């Protein structure tokens, strides 16, 4: 089986209205109208342009048809990415881009707005004094207090050497800085050595073409430091490139299959086979997972569990056991199409099931924030309530209802990319992993 086939551009797709006809040979501009459904689609598109009261956004109309076609499959892992978002996606995959050197999280209850979650040393934001917790107010002249995170990312990224004015708010007080974009490298691996000569490597994503090389360097560094006990942390790793997952698992296995793929109406075929290499890590191994460990993370943990190579500790994993082919489209967008299910070396299909850890432990790093709702207030009025000894102000909506959600506690991250910050006492899964190695 061609190992690269799942991760490279695989051609182009024409606009489709149904799956059954495509399975018989595919649609073309000429034969789309050969079926009643195809004729109906063309008629609806033309009649909207002919009769609809308001101006029709042609791009939005056609992309709506594309999303409708994909949505008919009711498969969350087959999806369309618009051209502008695909550009950001491609940058993330490459592992580097022009930017200001921060990571963002949503600031509003609905996930909109942007707040600085981390500032990386050596990049523009750090040099200008931007701090964790600063809220994006404006980028250039554009107010972004209610913008989607992806839209904020698009505005702050740009050509290396170009400048952008950003207005932040710190504790409610705005300030503006001029930032010159420079090269930002995505480091997907964080590492440290814990007491007792226990190595710790966290792999945050497989969706980075540099992730495999970064992980190999981390493993080599652990071996150089004489580490014979290692913790591999795959918590909150939602996956990415299947080839990267195979490569990571291969560094702990000397022989045997790593994963197999089963396409429609076909027998499973081995996709990744372990090789005995001098760079392999052969010491004692623990793998940490949680409910957000998915896809390639489950490939790695499933292969190591089946081989008896590692003790898996944490929560039941997400359960994404399918692989996708990414297809670049004529408009510059991309569609990811589920084309196969993957199986562990022992033939387990984990889609919608997940990997069950050998030792089950609840992830204590995230606590449910205090939240409450109320009603009966004067519409538009502000109410100040004391929460945990501190005043909290909420605003009632037009129906007199109000809500409050406290800030989610997030694990501390180092401002130095590649450096891990861990809590060996408060992090229950990590603590149990250390115990398993002692």
Q: Which residues are the active-site residues?
A: 295, 320
Nearest one of 268, 259, 266, 263 to 239, comparing CA atoms: 259
> Could you count the other beta carbons within 10 Å of the beta carbon of residue 79?
16
Contacts of 63 (CB under 8 A, 6+ apart): 80, 82, 331, 333
Half-sphere exposure of 384 (CA within 13 A, CB side): 3
Instruction: Provide the token pair at 100.
Output: 């200001």
Q: Which residue has the tokens 């495999």?
A: 212
Instruction: Provide the token pair at 69.
Output: 């076609």
Contacts of 142 (CB under 8 A, 6+ apart): 155
Nearest one of 115, 23, 80, 47 to 329, comparing CA atoms: 80
Helix-strand-coil percent breakdown of the chain, rounded to 5? 25, 30, 45
> Could you count the other beta carbons within 10 Å of the beta carbon of residue 153?
20
Contact 297, 239 (CB under 8 A): yes
Q: Which residues pair with 322 in a beta bridge?
A: 341
Determine phi and psi for 245, rounding to 5 degrees.
-65, -40
Q: What is the spatial distance between Cα 60 and Cα 293, in angstroms, rounded to a whole number?
A: 34
To 5 degrees, how large is the angle CA 187–CA 283–CA 418? 15
Determine phi and psi for 341, rounding to 5 degrees.
-100, 145
Angle between helices 36-51 and 58-71 (to 10 degrees): 150
């Amino acid at each position: 089986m061609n190992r690269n086939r799942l991760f490279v551009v695989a051609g182009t797709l024409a606009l489709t209205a149904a799956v059954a006809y495509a399975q018989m040979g595919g649609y073309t501009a000429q034969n789309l109208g050969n079926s009643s459904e195809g004729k109906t689609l063309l008629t609806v598109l033309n009649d909207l342009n002919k009769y609809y009261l308001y101006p029709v956004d042609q791009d939005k109309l056609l992309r709506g048809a594309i999303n409708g076609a994909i949505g008919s499959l009711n498969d969350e892992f087959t999806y369309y990415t618009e051209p502008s978002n695909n550009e950001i996606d491609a940058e993330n995959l490459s592992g580097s881009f022009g930017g200001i050197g921060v990571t963002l999280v949503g600031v509003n209850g609905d996930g909109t707005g942007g707040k600085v979650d981390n500032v990386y040393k050596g990049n523009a934001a750090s040099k200008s004094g931007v701090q964790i917790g600063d809220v994006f107010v404006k980028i250039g002249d554009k107010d972004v207090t209610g913008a989607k995170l992806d839209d904020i990312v698009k505005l702050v990224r740009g050509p290396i050497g170009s400048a952008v004015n950003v207005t932040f708010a710190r504790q409610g007080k705005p300030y503006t800085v001029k930032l010159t974009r420079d090269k930002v490298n995505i480091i997907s691996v964080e590492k440290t050595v814990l007491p007792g000569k226990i190595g710790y490597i966290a792999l945050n994503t497989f969706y980075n073409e540099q992730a495999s090389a970064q992980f190999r360097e981390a493993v080599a560094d652990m071996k150089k430091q004489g580490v014979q006990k290692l913790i591999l942390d795959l918590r909150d790793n939602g996956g990415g490139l299947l080839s990267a997952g195979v490569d990571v698992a291969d560094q702990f296995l000397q022989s045997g299959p790593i994963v197999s793929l089963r396409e429609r109406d076909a027998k499973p075929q081995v996709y990744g086979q372990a090789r005995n290499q001098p760079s392999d890590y052969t010491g004692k191994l623990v793998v940490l997972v949680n409910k957000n460990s998915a896809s390639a993370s489950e490939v790695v943990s499933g292969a190591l569990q089946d081989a008896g190579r590692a003790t898996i500790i944490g929560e039941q994993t997400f359960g994404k056991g399918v692989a996708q082919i990414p297809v670049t489209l004529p408009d510059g967008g991309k569609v990811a199409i589920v084309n196969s299910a993957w199986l562990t070396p022992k033939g387990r299909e984990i889609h919608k099931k997940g990997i069950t850890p050998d030792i089950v432990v609840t992830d204590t790093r995230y606590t449910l924030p205090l939240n409450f709702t109320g009603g009966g207030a004067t519409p538009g009025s502000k109410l100040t309530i004391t929460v945990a000894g501190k005043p909290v102000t909420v605003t009632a909506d037009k129906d007199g209802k109000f809500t409050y959600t406290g800030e989610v506690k997030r694990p501390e991250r180092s401002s130095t990319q590649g450096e891990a910050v861990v809590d060996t006492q408060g992090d229950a899964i990590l603590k149990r992993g250390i115990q398993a190695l002692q």
